[in-house]
Amino acid sequence: MNNKKICKSWGVMFAVGPCLTTAHAADFFADSKVDLEMRNFYMNRDFRDGTGQSKRDEWAQGFMLRAQSGYTPGTIGFGVDAIAMVGLKLDSSPDRTGTGLLPIHDDGRAPNEYSKAGLTGKVRFSKTELKVGTLIPKLPTLQSNFGRLLPQTFRGGMIESKEWSGLELIGGHLDQVTDRDMTAAQGLSINNKNRRFSRPQDGGDFELAGAAYRWRDIQLTYQVGRLEDVYQQHFFGFNSVNEVSRGKLKTDVRLFVSADQGQARAGKVDNQAFGGLVTYELSGNSFSLGYQSMRGDSAFPYVDGTDPYLVNFVQVGDFAEKGERSWQARYARDLASWGLPGLTFMTRYVKGTDAEVLATDSGRERELDIELQYKVQSGPLKALDIRLRNAAYRSDFTRDANDTRVILSYPISFL
């Protein structure tokens, strides 16, 4: 008797043998995980000058259910993951929309609720894993945004291999994106903040490949990403951790080299972005200094809606205009040694100069961020995460803003 079954995920079909029969699916079910994250988010962005909407102010509740199966037994294992997300409006009005927490209808109002879901088929052979369907990448050339209520998701396929000790290989092809406050998928385009590029239209598919090698406390990374008809980008990364006196010294160096690609639908792309961040940790204290510079004939390119992997990408600004140089000073403190376990504090200041943007070639911007975070350590609300974030952003080429966020996140594990 042939008891093979056909499993289907996002239009991809594959034979998986007796994938759901009781006798052969022990690992498939035994290694499964199901968890729910409840995320309550309030955001207020108060514009301090300029014309137009004076503030963005909304409050919403999100639910994100993830189900991850194990793999069927055998040389080649098969599995499936699923994600379902719902966002509920708690407070909003047409004159306060645009926070990114909720969609906006044609009448300017946010809906009472919105939802989205996705499936991902996966195949494992030895230490190589292929995933096809809904993906949430966190990579130097493509970093999904989860800075609001629900995460940004992509449709496509990615393969990761760890066959050799210390070496990780990755490749991917993605063709659609569903942004954090959207329900429908759309094509990928370039971010066009402050009209950095000529056109933000559909740029085609996104492809990436790369390798990361770790040796002791050092990691070297190379990755190339290409938005089909817009730009190609090479990334080189260096990370190290060293014991210094009684503390620990961390070094993070990043270099991007980008150029226009294919039909160059966004116009000229020519950018070399260098960034470095050095952090010294001692007795619960963390001190960081960072530097970032943009060279070439354009600003830094990245896929619209994503988070750019830049050391000076912070709460409001990304400090990635053409010709811009920026510096960062950061301090963080774990307050457990003060008898307050679970409580942490962070503040940072970033200043950018020489930005060639809009009508100026000497633009300046600066941002001061303060964050207080508390994770409940015990009791029925253990793992509840409470985060207060505030940013004061000032610029001479775009609108000043004060940005305040209150985020409560509570995870529940069912399996």
Domain positions in the chain are: 21-45+64-125, 133-311, 335-415
Distance of alpha carbon 141 from alpha carbon 225, whole angstroms: 6
Q: What is the dihedral of CA 142, 190, 102, 180, to 10 degrees?
A: -20
User: Helix H segments across 4-149?
Assistant: 26-30
> 14: number of CA atoms within 13 Å, CB side?
17
> Which single residue is written with the structure tokens 């130097």?
140
Distance of alpha carbon 318 from alpha carbon 383, whole angstroms: 30
pLDDT averaged over 10-residue windows placed end to end, the chain, 415 residues: 39 36 61 96 93 93 97 95 98 96 95 97 97 98 97 98 97 97 95 87 91 96 97 98 93 98 93 98 96 98 97 98 98 93 97 94 96 95 96 96 98 92
User: Helix H segments across 37-147?
Assistant: none
Identify the three-state secondary structure at position 335.
Answer: helix
Consecutive H or E run containing 374: strand 360-375
133-311 CATH: 2.40.160.10
Q: How far is CA 55 from the centre of its chain?
A: 25
Tokens at residue 57, please?
């102010």
Q: What is the dihedral of CA 125, 130, 136, 139, to 10 degrees?
A: 80
Q: Cβ(328)–Cβ(305) under 8 Å?
A: no
In the chain, what is the straight-line distance between the N-terminal and C-terminal CA atoms, in Å? 34
In order of 172, 212, 265, 271, the CA distances from 235 in angstroms are: 15, 11, 22, 12
Q: Cβ(206)–Cβ(229) under 8 Å?
A: no
Distance of alpha carbon 406 from alpha carbon 23, whole angstroms: 48
Consecutive H or E run containing 400: none
For residue 322, what is the DSSP state?
A: B
Q: What is the pLDDT of residue 52?
A: 84
Q: What is the pLDDT of residue 200?
A: 64
Q: What is the dihedral of CA 252, 207, 99, 312, to 10 degrees?
A: 20
Could you tell me the pTM of the whole model? 0.91
Tokens at residue 229, please?
């008809």
Distance of alpha carbon 235 from alpha carbon 322, whole angstroms: 18
Burial environment of residue 215 by CB neighbours within 10 A (0 to 12, 13 to 18, 19 or more): exposed
